[in-house]
Structure 1
Amino acid sequence: MLMMAKELPEDLVIQILVWLPVVSLLRFKSVCKSWYALITNQNFITKHLLHNKNINTQLLLKTRDKTTEDYVVSTISYETLQVSLTHPLPPLCLGIDKISIFVVGSCNGLVCLHDYRSVIWNPATKETKIVPKSNLPRIVPAGYLTRIDGSGTYINGMTSWLAYENDCELFVLSFDMSDEVFLKTPLPDNTYREGGEELFVLNELIVIAFPHEQYLYSELIYDIWLLLKVGIKDSWTRLFTIGPFIQINDIGWPGPLGFWKNDTMLIVKSDGQLALYDPSSKQITNLQIHGDIMCLQLVTYMETLVSVKRGNEFEEQDNC
C-alpha cells in the first residue's frame, strides 16, 4: 500500500482516502510521516467532512444498556436503519446522576452533551472538550423575560427553541445569526399546551409535535404542525396526527423522535421499540432496535476527523 501510494499522484491518494471511515484513517496516520501530515491537514479534514455529508449521514441514538444500565450511544445507518456500532458515553467526570445527561445536538460530527455543564465530543475519535462557562449575561430578546425549554434546532443560519414568556405563554424563539436579531413566532391556535412539546426539522423547516392525553390519561396523541415562515403565525400548517400511544407509566413518553426519508417519522413505542410511521398510509413498521424509553434520544450524525481540540485551548479543571 505504501509503495503504491508513492507511485500515485497525491490528488488521487486524497480521492481514495476520503472514502475511508474515520477508524481506518486514524490507523493510517501511523503509516508514514507524509500520511500523518496529509490526514491531519485541515484541507483534507474538510474534504472528508464534505464527502461524508453527501453520502454517509447516520443517526446517533442515546439509550441505556439493559445489562449494565450504563448510558450508551449507537450509530445507525441512515439508509438501512441498522445499528453499526454501540459504545459508551465518554467519561466526563460527572460524579452525579447520569440520567441528567442530555444530547443537545450534533454538527459536523461533533456532539454536544450537557448535564450541569456542556461537553463537546467526537464519538469517532473519542476526543472530548469541556466548554467553559460563559461570563456573558444570558441573552434574551429585548422586552421579554424568557425561559428556554429544552434543546433547539439549527436551520439555514437560524437557531430556534421553544420558550416561555413570563413562564406562561409558549412560543418559538428564533435567533437569526446573520442579522443578529430575535424573532418570535406564536404557536398555532387550537393546539394542546399540556407540556412535552418537541421541536423537529423536516425539509429545512421547523416542526412541532403537540402531545395531549385522552381516555383517563392512559393514551397519548400527537398533533404534528409545520412552520413555513419563521415569525409568521399564520404560516403554521397541520400535517397529521399520530397515535394513540399507550402510556405504561409516568416515566418516559412514547411518541415521535424525528423524521426520516419521504416524510416518514421515527417513533418510539411504550415498550422502547423503535418504529417507522408513514403518515400517508398510517402504517407502523417495527425496527430491530430497542431502547430505554426513559432516556431515549435521536440526532442526525456523521463521522468526522474534526478535532474538538482545535482553536482556543484550555486546561480541564482539577476536579475532572
Structure 2
Amino acid sequence: MGCFPDEVIIQILARLPVKSLYRTKTVCKLWYRLSSDRYFIQLYNELSVRNPMLLVDLSDSTESKSSSICVDNLRGVYEFSLDFLKDRVKVRASCNGLLCCSSIPNKGVYYVCNPMTREFRLLPKSRERPVTRFYPDGEATLVGLACNLSTHKFNVVLAGYHRTFGHRSDGTFICLIFDSESSRWRKFVSVQDDHFTHMNKNQAVFVNGALHWLTRSCSCILVLDLDFDVWRKISLPDEVSYGSGNRVNLLESDGCLSVIQISDAWMKIWVMKDYEREQWFLVDRVSLRCIRGLVPGIFPVSQSSEYVFLATHKQVLVYHIKSRVWKEMYSVKNCPTLPLWFLAHAFRSTIFSCN
C-alpha cells in the first residue's frame, strides 16, 4: 500500500474490526504511527458508532468465567470474554464501546472496560451506598454509563434511595457520579420523587451530554444533566400509550433519543429530531404479522436509522428498515436462566480508552 497517500490508508484502517486493526500495527512503523494518532482514533470511533451492535452477556453467576457474544449486522456473531477482569462480573451499562460491570462476589466493586481492546479500569470505592430496601447493600438501584467520544471522558452514575442497615429508606435519593478525568466521585442529593422508584434501570441512554431513563410507568423520561447535576423530565410522544399489551422502550438512534412502542400487531418508532424543543417524529410503522408468534416476548435493544436489533427469550433478530426484511441473527442453544432480552445491551465497537 506504499502507493497510497496516508489519508487513504487511514480511511481503510478506520473501517477494520478492532482485532484486525491491532494486528496491522505490527505490519510497519507507518501503520503503527497512523493508527495510534489522536485524529485516527477520533475518526475510527465516529465511524464505529454508525454501526450499532448488540451485546449479550451469557455469564452465569455460579461460573468462574464470563461469556458474551456480540451480534454485528455487518460481521455476524462472534464470542468474546471478560476474563481479563479476573473477576466474576455482571454487565450493568454500555455506552460507546465501554462497559460498566459490577463484581458478583464483591458488592460495591465496579469496573469500566473496553472488551474489544481488553483494557479496564477499577473504580475507587465510594463511601456512600445508594440503595433501596429492595436491593442488597452495595448495589445501586440505577447504574448509568456516559462516554463522550469528543472529550475522551466518561462518567459512571450510581443512584438510589439511601438507608442505614436494618432500616427502611429514609426518602433521600442519592446520586453518585464518577468522573474519569479527576478519578473521583461526587455526590448530590435530590428531593424524593415517586418517579425515581419506577425508573427502568435497564434502559439508560446517553444523548446530548445527559443520561436518560424511561420511567416504568412510561409517564415520562427522567434526564440527568451531567454538567449541572440536576434531574429534569422529558415528555414522551403524545401518541405513545402504555398498557393493554403495549410495551414502550427507550433507545438511542444515530445520536438522537428514540422511543419504540410494540403492540400485538405493530411496532412504531419515534425519534426526537429537535432535542431543545422536545419535538418527536414518527419515522416508521412496522407490521409484526410475519413474526406474530414472537411478539409477546420481543424487545428492541439497539437501533440506527437503517435497522433495529430485537431480542426474544432465545433469539436475536434484526429488522432492516428500508427493505422491511426480518432476519434471525442468533439463536441460543442452551437456554440461559434469563431471557436474552434481559441480558442484552446496545453496543459499539470502539477504541475508546478507559484510562
TM-score (norm 2): 0.57
Match of 1:191? 242
Written as runs of structure 1 = structure 2, the 5 A alignment for 1:1-320 is 4=2, 10-11=6-7, 13-31=9-27, 35-53=31-49, 57-64=51-58, 71-79=66-74, 82-83=76-77, 85-95=78-88, 101-107=90-96, 109-115=97-103, 116=107, 117-134=109-126, 138=175, 139=188, 141-142=190-191, 144=193, 146-147=196-197, 148-150=199-201, 151-163=203-215, 171-177=220-226, 181-185=230-234, 191-192=242-243, 198-202=249-253, 204-207=256-259, 209=261, 226=270, 228=272, 254-258=297-301, 260=303, 265-270=308-313, 272-276=314-318, 285-291=326-332, 292=336, 293-294=339-340, 296-304=343-351, 306-309=352-355
CA distance in 1, matches of 2:327, 2:319: 9
Q: Which shows bigger deviation, 229-238 or 37-46?
A: 229-238
Q: 1:51 to 1:235 in 2, by over 3 A?
A: closer
Tell me by how many angstroms 1:125 deviates.
1.4
CA distance in 2, matches of 1:113, 1:174: 22
Judge conservation of contact 1:266–1:276 (CA < 8 Å) in 2.
yes
Per-residue CA distance 1:43-101 (angstroms, 9 max, x = gap): 332233234345xx2413214389x9864333333347x22x21223343435xx6xx1
Per-residue CA distance 1:220-266 (angstroms, 9 max, x = gap): 8998674757799996989679686679xxxxx82113354667643
Judge conservation of contact 2:48–2:348 (CA < 8 Å) in 1.
no
Letter in 1 for 2:100: C
CA distance in 2, matches of 1:58, 1:235: 22
Structure 2 SS opposite 1:23: helix
CA distance in 1, matches of 2:69, 2:286: 29
Tell me by how many angstroms 1:110 deviates.
2.4
CA distance in 2, matches of 1:182, 1:113: 24
Judge conservation of contact 1:159–1:174 (CA < 8 Å) in 2.
yes
Q: 1:48 to 1:230 in 2, by over 3 A?
A: closer
Tell me by how many angstroms 1:128 deviates.
1.6
Q: Which runs of 5+ in 2 are unaligned?
A: 129-173, 176-187
Q: 1:42 to 1:173 in 2, by over 3 A?
A: same
Tell me by how many angstroms 1:155 deviates.
2.1
Q: 1:39 to 1:298 in 2, by over 3 A?
A: same
CA distance in 1, matches of 2:259, 2:285: 9
CA distance in 2, matches of 1:274, 1:65: 17
Tell me by how many angstroms 1:163 deviates.
4.4
Paired residues in the alignment total 276
Judge conservation of contact 1:90–1:126 (CA < 8 Å) in 2.
no
Q: Which shows bigger deviation, 137-146 or 112-121?
A: 137-146
Tell me by how many angstroms 1:122 deviates.
1.6
Letter in 1 for 2:95: S
Q: Which runs of 5+ in 1 are unaligned?
A: 212-219, 248-252, 310-320
Q: 1:299 to 1:233 in 2, by over 3 A?
A: closer
Same amino acid, percent of matched pairs: 21
